[in-house]
Amino acid sequence: QKEVEQNSGPLSVPEGAIASLNCTYSDRGSQSFFWYRQYSGKSPELIMSIYSNGDKEDGRFTAQLNKASQYVSLLIRDSQPSDSATYLCAVTGGNEKLTFGTGTRLTIIP
Amino acid sequence: KAGVTQTPRYLIKTRGQQVTLSCSPISGHRSVSWYQQTPGQGLQFLFEYFSETQRNKGNFPGRFSGRQFSNSRSEMNVSTLELGDSALYLCASSWGGGQQETQYFGPGTRLLVL
């Protein structure tokens, strides 16, 4: 079983709609959770970090964490074509190393 | 503040050769982590260095090694290259490598093994 799992997609969302990206993790000792965005041919850049249960909002982005269900999600409101990218979920486990999911490719359709 | 830099950006090698990649972290950052990214396996953690010591290691064979210098710059070496080593190698730096710290990625070195 993979430590961090994401739907590989591709996920297509109309411009202006809400994009919902999901991630589950297997290590109950995980304490820190990150969403990175990676454009084709570029390196990952941090979008959101979340450490406690609940929602965290930053502009059009909302991260949601549910440690009991071992689930973390990212919502993108008012999706823009520039949001088209691969989104990587990353988790820091008990051994402190960052483990990434394989990513979800998101396409925003104008 | 300058970001993470990696050299070279592109590299072509043949099987059996060895390669050394370099990473300069953001000024003041003491933790450097290395990752391998391939289409099939995604981003996989190789190792992390902090204050010139390897602090964490991923599940890669001993052909993959690294080191860190006193100025926090890091190098990784891959010996006896195999075709499967073709990948994007990313380095990321953070201040102390703590669990809640953001890791900032460099542009990567794209390695092609023929």
Q: Which residues of A touch B36 (CB under 8 A)?
A: none
Phi, psi of A83, rounded to the nearest 5 degrees? -80, -10
Choose the mutation target among B48, B56, B99 for the interface with A, i.e. most A CBs under 10 Å: B99
What are the percentages of helix, strand and coil residues in chain B, rounded to 5?
Answer: 5, 55, 45
Handedness of CA A51, A57, A58, A60 (dihedral sign): positive
In Å, what is the CA distance from A22 to each residue of A18, A36, A59, A103, B64? 13, 13, 19, 10, 32
The pLDDT of A49-53, averaged and rounded, is: 94
Q: pLDDT grade, residue A97 (50/70/90)?
A: confident
Burial of B80 (0-12, 13-18, 19+ CB in 10 A): exposed
| Intervals of chain B under pLDDT 70 | 1, 97
Tokens for A78?
């008012």
Rounded CA separation A12/A16 (Å): 12
Q: Which residues of A touch B48 (CB under 8 A)?
A: 97
**Each residue's pLDDT tens digit, A58-77:** 999 999 999 999 999 999 99
Tokens for B19?
């390669």
